[in-house]
Amino acid sequence: MSIDDEPVQCSRKGCRAPPTWVLVWNNPKIHTPDRRKTWTACAEHRDYLSKFLDIRGFLREAVPFSEFEG
């Protein structure tokens, strides 16, 4: 999968690994309830990125990259 001919990479700064997870999130202070944003995460950074979003109340779900339909 690629976006604009660029390979999809983990959203963690500096990580170039292919993602294995999609983290679906929403900031309720600025997004409507139905709005969904995504970050991709490799296996190594899934917990880090999930915790970052969850602490802020943004994380909605984590979906395996191979199963994500977005």
Q: What is the pLDDT of residue 10?
A: 97
Q: What are the residue ranges spanned by the domains of the chain? A: 2-67
pLDDT of residue 4: 58
Counting other chains too, the contacts that 34-37 makes at CB distance below 8 Å and 24 or more residues apart are 36/60, 36/70
| pLDDT digits (tens), the chain, 70 positions | 444 567 899 999 999 999 999 999 999 999 999 999 999 999 999 999 999 999 999 999 999 999 998 7
Supply φ then ψ for residue 6, to 5 degrees.
-105, 135
pTM of the model: 0.86
